[in-house]
Amino acid sequence: MHLKLSSVVLLFLLTMASSGCRSRSTSSLAIEVGQPVELGAWRLIVHSVTTLTADPWRQPEQGMQFLAIELTVENTSANIRYMMPENQMLLVGPNGDRAPLDASAGVLAARQSQWMVVQGEIGPGRLLHGGVSYEVPADLSGWRWVFRPELLPTGLEGVLDLREFSPQ
C-alpha cells in the first residue's frame, strides 16, 4: 500500500513539474497611443509617452533618460481587481532585459505632470489615471512596454512599441 501511494505521489509530482516546463503561447495585442484596448477585465488607454526633465537631485545615469507612460485603466469586471505595476507593466529591452519602475522618475512624473503611480485596488467599473516611470536608454530601439492584465503571466498581453519615442 505504501509503495502504491508513493508511486501515485511521484507520478503526480512529475506531471506537475512537466506541465510547468511546457512553453506557453502568448497572445499579444498592439497598443496604440490614444486608442483603448480591452485586455482581460481591463480597458487600457495609453495617453502619452513622455521624457521627463531631470532636476538637480534626480539625474539619470549617463546615456539614460527618465521615461513616463501616462495611462488610464478601467476595471470592466464585476469584481474588485488589483493593479501591481511591477508585475503588470513591464519595460522590456531587445534582449529581454527589463527596466524596473524608477522611484526618481516617479517623483519627477508626480511633480511635473501630477501623475501618481497606477496601482492598488480598483473597484468594479472604476477608472484609475496616472503614470508609470522608468530609467531607460536614450535609444529605445527594440524596447517595448508590456501590459499584463493579470498579476501572474497568463499568455495575454498588450504591447506598445517604444521605437518611435527614441530621439531621431
User: Helix count (H) and strand count (E) of the chain?
Assistant: 3, 11
At residue 23, does pLDDT exceed 80? no
What was the pLDDT predicted at 72?
Answer: 96
At residue 156, does pLDDT exceed 80? yes
At residue 165, does pLDDT exceed 50? yes
- pLDDT grade for 14, boundaries at 50, 70 and 90: very low
Of residues 12 and 94, more confidently modeled? 94
Q: Are 130 and 117 in contact (CB under 8 A)?
A: yes
For 124-154, the DSSP string reads TT-EEEEEEEEEEES--TT-EEEE-SSSS--
At residue 166, does pLDDT exceed 80? no
Mean pLDDT of 121-142: 93
> What domains can you pick out in the chain, each with its CATH number?
26-165 (2.60.40.1240)
- pLDDT grade for 161, boundaries at 50, 70 and 90: very high
At residue 84, does pLDDT exceed 90? yes
Mean pLDDT over all residues of the chain?
A: 84
What was the pLDDT predicted at 124?
Answer: 97
